[in-house]
Amino acid sequence: MCIDRELLSPNGFWLWRYTLDPSVRFIVLYGGSSSGKSFSVAQFFSILAYYEGCSLLVMRKVGASIEKTIYSDFRAAINGIEGLADCCRFKQNSIVFNNGGKIDFSGLDDPEKIKGISQYKRVFLDELSEYDETDFKQIRLRLRGQEGQQIVAAFNPISEEHWIKKHWFDREEWHEIPMSLTVGGETLPPELCAVKSVRMNSEKLILNPNTGEYDRHAPDTIVIQSTYLNNFWVVGSPDGTYGYYDYQAIANFENDRINDPDYYQVYALGEWGHIRTGAEFFPSFNRGVVCGKFPFNPELPIHISMDSNVLPYVTATFFQKEYKPDDYQQVTQFDELPIESPNNSARKAAKVIAKRLCEYHYDGKVYLHGDASGKAANTIDENNRSFFDLVIDELEHEGFEVEDCIGNKNPSVATTGEFINAVWDGRVPGVAIRIDNGCTVSIDDYQAVQKDENGAIAKQKVTNPVTKQKYEAHGHVSDTLRYAVHDLLRAQYTEFSMGRKRSIYSEGEFKFFNPATEYDYEQTIVYVLPSFGGRFALARLARIGDRWHLTDVCLRTVKGNDEMAGWIRSVQSDMYIVECQQAYFPMVRDLRKDLPQVNVLRLGTDHRTRISAMSDWVRAHVHLDPEKMSEPEYAAFMGDVLDYNDQSPADQSAASAVLSGLARIIIRGV
């Protein structure tokens, strides 16, 4: 085979070497953008179809995308090889050569092509990361019947949890191949074949069903990793006589290298990871800064944070907290357990956790944190015990002392996320959150998890292609981080949640009362706005001297009168004041049947002036419950109060309007 080597980049030379080796079953090209993976395959598949007269199949996950992507690459590759375009005809979904060679193009959504795949000598799977693992299994099982049949694949690496890495690459033993090649009887200069890495898998023992003995199976997989730096049509040829130096592309990559190293690592250098979308829940997570080698410290207690969802696994993450000089506090995640089926139940998961603790030779107290919903009674258990009841019971049965640190309500998703980002940004003095490099599932989740329109975690459901079960692919590991950080850095979290986005209230102006103290309240008042900017808002103040404790709040979307009346009745008080439009007067009359001293006020017309006028009294006399600041509704209510300014829309003013209404009533002497 005579090929003008000035047509090829290094990927092309490696393909030349191994597509002609019948012992190689799989050739995988992966790496960064602009590394020439697919184009190199297009060049060499076209050359093979012409020289060998063989049939080749090119596939993508979805057939509709072929014409404008990989088919265009093949057309350009053929037109770039002198005389080759004259030897073939371009048809819809195929390229036919005069000598009988043929290249067909198909999507995985064409079942007939899958059935007839055995007729092809080679199959190219473009963008392999888009395929399900079951897709790949079907293709490799059906490609049989001819000697030297090969599967060539190309993709840009994404999540470290992707099946390509987790269920293929990580299960093989690899060895590096030296960067030297002899093709066509000629040894190439090293600079012509230099890529980021080339690896070959190791020999295996395969059971022979006829003899019942194990045969030696030669290495059959080549993995080539390349980047834009290995593409002569981006950086030019080593001797500068051919190829193309793309100044704009190089400038773009260099800008990313300097200003967005995480993006550069994935997009340019082809390392496993996630490309940022701009909607990350943890935008401040920088793997190069946050992660490192942070092993278990036997001198510190272990905190375990769990999420009780069972699909795709029960999540358990392991933390330690260390106090450094100058009151510096350091939270470290040193391990993780994504506990999959068949162990993804409470008791079995606890056994897996106990085994891991024993591996650390840990005999201290286990501090358990986690999802408050996991404390609800579980009808699966004959004694109606909760998920965490069963976990604790099993851990204690395994010999560990467990302290239950799980709250009755989960902390605010948005606020805990903001707090963790602030820590990673260095905006919270005296604290650090570190993640061990070995926590690959966690790191993947922290990189991938997205934020919804309300600032919470967007948990998108996916379907397991085999079991057809739906589950949330990302977010549960991130939840365990939130629970642990909230509990381990509670004081800093509370201070942060009170100090974010100040407007008419400056940082530190609100005071707190001690919820552990039993107060003999002199008076309690509930103030209600049934409908204010589409929100139902309620607040209860309890008087002790000249201080008023904000003990209960409600901030929800407006519902029917009966449901809202139920919300009001659920809060006990000496007095109820309902500020509303006339349409809600019947609800007030109904409340008077069973509640003491229910008063009605017509809805005011200038709440902005009232809020501004009452703000001094509110900051001086209203004290907050620090424990309830971790409860979503209380935190949301105070978040609206703290974020309020004169330009705030009505639906963000309801909480401030309620407090100002209470202040006005109290000042007037109720």
CA dihedral (389, 390, 391, 396) in degrees, to 10, reads 90
In angstroms, the CA 421 to CA 284 distance is 5
Neighbours of 383 (CB within 10 A): 8
pLDDT score for 98: 93
**What is the length of the chain?**
670
In angstroms, the CA 68 to CA 52 distance is 27
pLDDT surpassing 80 at residue 351 = yes
In angstroms, the CA 368 to CA 317 distance is 10
Which residue do the tokens 């190293």 mark?
261
Classify burial at 57, counting beta carbons within 10 Å of its beta carbon; exposed 0-12, middle 13-18, buried 19 or more.
buried
Whole-number percent of the chain with pLDDT over 90: 67
In angstroms, the CA 387 to CA 134 distance is 33
Domain 511-667, classified CATH 3.30.420.240, yes or no: yes
For residue 72, give Cα distances in angstroms to 42, 233, 602: 9, 17, 70
Extract the tokens encoding 426: 């260095």
pLDDT score for 494: 83
Residue 500 sits at φ, ψ, to 5 deg, of -85, 140
User: Which one, of 98, 79, 80, lies nearest residue 88 by Cα?
Assistant: 98
In angstroms, the CA 629 to CA 498 distance is 9
Q: How confident is the model at residue 85 (pLDDT cuts 50, 70, 90)?
A: very high
| DSSP states along 612-627 | HHHHHHHHHHEEE-TT
Extract the tokens encoding 114: 């899958």
Beta-bridge partners for 367: 303, 403
Q: How confident is the model at residue 639 (pLDDT cuts 50, 70, 90)?
A: confident
User: Which one, of 539, 548, 654, lies nearest residue 604 by Cα?
Assistant: 654
pLDDT surpassing 80 at residue 112 = no
pLDDT digits (tens, 9 = 90+) for 256-315: 998 888 789 888 999 888 777 778 899 999 888 999 999 999 999 999 999 988 888 999
pLDDT surpassing 60 at residue 1 = no
Q: What share of the chain is helix, strand, coil (3-state, %, to 5)?
A: 35, 25, 40
pLDDT digits (tens, 9 = 90+) for 18-70: 999 999 999 999 999 999 999 999 999 999 999 999 999 999 998 888 988 99
pLDDT score for 507: 47
pLDDT digits (tens, 9 = 90+) for 353-408: 999 999 999 999 999 999 988 887 665 566 778 999 999 999 999 999 999 999 88
- 240 residue type, one letter: G
Query: Can you tell me the mean pLDDT for 81-97?
Result: 93
Q: How many angstroms from the chain centroid is the CA of residue 246?
A: 34
Query: Can you tell me the mean pLDDT for 534-563?
Result: 93
Residue 393 sits at φ, ψ, to 5 deg, of -60, -40
| DSSP states along 288-326 | HHHEE-----TTS-EEEEEE---SS-EEEEEEEEEEEGG
In angstroms, the CA 146 to CA 118 distance is 8
Q: Report the interhelical angle of 654-667 vs 607-621 (nearest 10°).
A: 70
Residue 519 makes CB contacts below 8 A (sequence gap 6+) with 513, 542, 544, 549
Query: Backbone dihedral region of 13: left (phi > 0), alpha (psi from -120 to 50 degrees) or beta?
Result: alpha
Neighbours of 386 (CB within 10 A): 18
- CATH label, 5-235, candidates 3.40.50.2000, 3.30.43.10, 3.20.20.70, 3.40.50.300: 3.40.50.300
Mean pLDDT of all residues in the chain? 90
Please name the fold of domain 287-496: Nucleotidyltransferase; domain 5 (3.30.420)
* Assessment of whether the complete model's pTM goes beyond 0.85: no
In angstroms, the CA 42 to CA 55 distance is 14
User: Which one, of 200, 201, 199, 137, lies nearest residue 171 by Cα?
Assistant: 201
Extract the tokens encoding 492: 């800093």
Extract the tokens encoding 300: 């510190």
In angstroms, the CA 666 to CA 663 distance is 5
| DSSP states along 429-477 | TTEEEEEETT-HHHHHHHHH-EE-TTSSEE--EEE-TTT--EEESSSHH
Selected residue with higher pLDDT from 200 and 63: 200
Which residue do the tokens 């709440």 mark?
607
Extract the tokens encoding 104: 């067909």
- 180 residue type, one letter: S
In angstroms, the CA 401 to CA 398 distance is 9
In angstroms, the CA 520 to CA 508 distance is 26
pLDDT digits (tens, 9 = 90+) for 236-266: 999 999 999 999 999 999 999 988 887 898 8
> 287-496 with 511-667: one CATH topology?
yes
- 26 residue type, one letter: F
pLDDT score for 502: 46
Extract the tokens encoding 430: 């005296």
pLDDT score for 311: 87
* The 88-91 sheet, strands edge to edge: 88-91, 94-97, 102-107, 55-60, 122-126, 150-155, 26-31, 221-226, 197-201, 174-176
Classify burial at 560, counting beta carbons within 10 Å of its beta carbon; exposed 0-12, middle 13-18, buried 19 or more.
exposed
Q: How confident is the model at residue 109 (pLDDT cuts 50, 70, 90)?
A: confident
Neighbours of 412 (CB within 10 A): 26
Selected residue with higher pLDDT from 409 and 20: 20
pLDDT score for 287: 86
Residue 614 sits at φ, ψ, to 5 deg, of -90, -5
Element (H, E) at 637: helix 632-643
Q: How confident is the model at residue 551 (pLDDT cuts 50, 70, 90)?
A: very high
Element (H, E) at 530: strand 523-532
In angstroms, the CA 13 to CA 19 distance is 10
Q: Biggest alpha carbon distance in the chain?
A: 101
In angstroms, the CA 198 to CA 230 distance is 13
DSSP assignment letter at 144: -
Q: Are strands 182-183 and 88-91 parallel, antiparallel or unpaired?
A: unpaired
Q: Are strands 470-472 and 461-463 parallel, antiparallel or unpaired?
A: antiparallel
Residue 282 makes CB contacts below 8 A (sequence gap 6+) with 417, 420, 421, 424, 446, 447, 449, 478
Domain chopping of the chain, boundaries: 5-235, 287-496, 511-667
In angstroms, the CA 344 to CA 346 distance is 7
